[in-house]
Structure 1
């Protein structure tokens, strides 16, 4: 019995020795490191969307006098920019989605309906000259610490063969642009 206890005591000493060696801070000091994770959680910040008039102002694109017979979908281009400011806390390389909501004109689904029958307004991304149709969504990447400027342009279009003459006078068109986090 003494011999069994002696062997058992030696085994315990052996395992204790191995355990202490393996748990010594110097054993793995060159092969390991501690990890530390840090972050800052924020709610999705609201973004300000504005034109040249400034924050909390509607974006107004003014067309001057336009001769009806000269509207061809190429002339009377109005360049403008849409500014998006989501604050510096948003960071860089954040995916956003621009929603352009409005009623398309019946004769051209890529143009926004106006108050004048037979006339519509097309919105283009100035970077690549692609049409942004009413009710389209466009993917964006916020790359500059929560600020983004989108160069755009608008061009009036008219119905090719109107059933009734297009009547001269003032016209308006209204759409809504919103930013979402996908």
Structure 2
């Protein structure tokens, strides 16, 4: 099998932002060269950029009567994120279906996933899905992907790339131990719901 040079480059890149072999609760984690580089990157993105503000405004225009939630957490993860509900969602309702976009700060790349949560029964039922999405999510997926690419020129990552293991790294905000991280966790966030 031919190696994926793009994925290999992204793995090398995330190694510049996360210290190899250290847990995120290790005293040397944030003080490491990589940890300091990640902190500087996060600080540079604390304030919403004009392009992110324009993008979120365009999302609202593109998806009228949908619940739009900018879920970016500055100083936590190296990504911007936004959730767009499917038709029929009412705030406070027990069912919440949406498409989530993750846009990288480390690299000009993005990911989309579908999210479902239903708390109407005695047990909460939830799932997340990388592509291919269920049919009812696909229109939102296509519109969001097109808007991200037009606005930012970012490249969408394949499932294989997103799920590539980076076993020697532990994302800053993750509850992972060594050996658990994937590229999606390091480029974007491990807090997916």
TM-score range for the pair, normalised by the shorter chain length: under 0.3
Higher relative contact order (CA 8 A, sep 6+): 1
TM-score by length of 1: 0.20
- Bigger strand share: 1
TM-score (norm 2): 0.19
